[in-house]
Chain A
């Protein structure tokens, strides 16, 4: 990893509470261009809350979040549009629009942010769906899809505008192991072919082992470890136990 690459995501002393419950208590992290950083941690540790701060879906109580040179924590919502064209967010529940078909879901960002005509949009959608292994599914409704197919459609929609940063929230949650492996492989391929910077939130050690250039371990509102997966596996305490419990590292 060349350390001369620019920092794309910079989170500094991020704090967030909901009522009396402090979820993030001074979290800091830097992600370099083209790097894949996996945020590990147990359920309810605030991994998704952290990720939602990166594209401004949540505002910090304290601290700053900078993405692609924009100060997300201070940018007004209506000025966030330009940044969100460059940063994709793949939701844990996929968040496909129920009232739209698969094709319309994938076309949504294209229609929202480009002047492409109907035929060009349809062509782009077909290419994107083929890329995620779902060619010819344009007319299906999201309710007709399996969990793995929904993840693929969400990924296709997320790739529509060629994002520079892709945020994945629990990409294999709720999937069987084989489908989980297929989605992980697809994310790896997308990262390789696009060169996008990726921030992946998961508690799945297999995903982290396959994708991570670095991992950050979130516990009690703080990153208690940042480094390689192998380094995390060698750690004592919660970090080492968590990583070794995944069965990938002895």
Chain B
């Protein structure tokens, strides 16, 4: 095949892939807003995805907060930035780092899990069996995972924000000799409710994107264990890129609002 042929082939596959994701997104969105919802399955997924990700989110945010405080204090010491550690840590975490890092880490963990699970079900004909039994796989399999992500990721972001601010507190008090009261007063000084909402708002979009990419890759997996492995890797890469790209556009959007 010529280089143009290969380019055409690659482009066409990408377009089909994006089209497939968009169609799945529309179909899943319709099922998210119309009953019935499987409450028991949503809670099970929320436990599997959300509760079991709390340690991961907390550790990452805690150390990010600590590093932010250290970097701010030492790198910008010449500008007297030590006094502004609270503002830098608070704003950075709540507006940006909390939602993005949580989405990247949890997206990788949860997204790959969704793809592996749905992919295994697809290649072992369980998804077809569900259809043949008159059940809707999008409603039974995708919607509960998506709803769990939509509820779980914003909560994890709040949790990560708290852990990150606590990390900043540890460095501020132990390393830099600031008092907790001084640190918290500066964290809250510039912070507005809109900042908090913008971080949570981002996490909702991230959750939908993670669920959609993971579900699409799982449901379109082919070729046995090898195919499931490939789909899972694709999900981790696609989730990371999508979260970062989406973050840019969402930041522009929320700043404009």
Q: Bound state CA distance, A77 and B138, in angstroms?
A: 12
Q: Bound state CA distance, A109 and B129, in angstroms?
A: 11
Q: Bound state CA distance, A93 and B127, in angstroms?
A: 12
Stretch at the interface among A2-10, A84-92, A123-131, A202-210: A84-92
Residues of A within 8 A of B130 (CB): 97
Q: Is residue B181 contacting chain A, with contact meaning CB distance below 8 A?
A: no
Q: Are B128 and A112 interface neighbours, CB within 8 A?
A: no
Residues of A within 8 A of B131 (CB): 57, 77, 84
Q: Are B121 and A98 interface neighbours, CB within 8 A?
A: yes
Q: What residue of chain B has the Cβ atom nearest to residue A80's Cβ? A: B134
- Minimum CB–CB distance from A85 to chain B (whole Å) comes to 5
Residues of B within 8 A of A82 (CB): 134
Q: What residue of chain B has the Cβ atom nearest to residue A91's Cβ? A: B125
Residues of A within 8 A of B135 (CB): 108, 112
User: Which of A87, A93, A108 is B124 in contact with, Cβ under 8 Å?
Assistant: A93
Q: Is residue A145 contacting chain B, with contact meaning CB distance below 8 A?
A: no
Q: What residue of chain A has the Cβ atom nearest to residue B129's Cβ? A: A95
Q: What count of chain A residues pass the 8 Å CB interface test?
A: 25
Given contacts A98-B120, A98-B121, contact A108 B128 (CB under 8 A): no
- Minimum CB–CB distance from B160 to chain A (whole Å) comes to 29
Q: Are B121 and A108 interface neighbours, CB within 8 A?
A: no
Contact digits for B230-250, partner A, Cβ 8 Å, 1 yes 0 no: 000000000000000000000
Q: Are A97 and B134 interface neighbours, CB within 8 A?
A: no
Q: What residue of chain B has the Cβ atom nearest to residue A112's Cβ? A: B135
Q: Are A109 and B133 interface neighbours, CB within 8 A?
A: yes
Q: Bound state CA distance, A80 and B131, in angstroms?
A: 9
- Minimum CB–CB distance from A145 to chain B (whole Å) comes to 14
Q: Are A89 and B129 interface neighbours, CB within 8 A?
A: yes
Residues of B within 8 A of A93 (CB): 124-125
Q: Bound state CA distance, A97 and B135, in angstroms?
A: 13
Q: Which B residues, 196 to 216, have Cβ-Cβ distances below 8 Å to chain A?
A: none
Identify which of A77, A93, A95 gathers the most chain B CB atoms within 10 Å of its CB. Answer: A95
Q: Is residue A81 contacting chain B, with contact meaning CB distance below 8 A?
A: yes
Q: Is residue A113 contacting chain B, with contact meaning CB distance below 8 A?
A: yes
Q: Bound state CA distance, A85 and B126, in angstroms?
A: 17
Binding site for B on A (CB under 8 A): 52, 55, 57, 77-78, 80-82, 84-85, 87-89, 91-93, 95-98, 108-109, 112-113, 157
Leading 7 A-B pairs by shortest Cβ distance: A95-B129, A84-B134, A89-B132, A95-B125, A81-B134, A91-B125, A109-B133
* 29 pairs, CB–CB < 8 Å, chain A vs chain B: A52-B128, A57-B128, A77-B131, A80-B134, A84-B131, A84-B133, A84-B134, A87-B132, A89-B129, A89-B132, A91-B128, A92-B125, A93-B125, A95-B125, A95-B126, A96-B129, A97-B121, A97-B126, A97-B130, A98-B124, A98-B126, A108-B133, A108-B135, A109-B133, A112-B133, A112-B134, A112-B135, A113-B134, A157-B133
